[in-house]
Amino acid sequence: MAALWITHVAVADEAAYGQYAKLAGPAIEKHGGTFLARGTRYKWVEGTERARNVVVRFDSIEAAEACYNSPEYQEALSFAKGAAERDLVFVEIAEA
């Protein structure tokens, strides 16, 4: 069942997070992720606002998790640690 990778981010260090983004995009695409939203317009309604929101579609939660755990993504993630506050969740897409 297809899944979404949903990230909400508050960036503290633009330079370091920029390096993360430069590496993360290709790593996610290499592992079959398709970006649906990436830093686009949003309207925050509840909870803690984070100005950067990313939604990626994968074929399954397992595919999203494999991407997250891949050496390529972990290298990218090393630049995000300390440079941003992030929430990340993988959610299966309900079939209609």
- Beta bridge mates, 92: 3
Of 20, 55, 59, the closest CA to residue 40 belongs to 55
Rg of the chain's alpha carbons, rounded to an integer? 13
The band of 5, judged by pLDDT with boundaries at 50, 70 and 90, is very high
Reported as a single tens digit per residue, the pLDDT across 34-92 is: 999 998 999 999 999 999 999 999 999 999 999 999 999 999 999 999 999 999 999 99
For residue 33, CA distances in Å to 12, 14, 58 come to 26, 24, 5
Q: Sort strands 34-38 and 3-11 into parallel, antiparallel or unpaired.
A: unpaired
pTM of the entire structure? 0.92
Helix (H) or strand (E) holding 73: helix 71-80
Domains (ranges, CATH) in the chain? 3-92 (3.30.70.100)
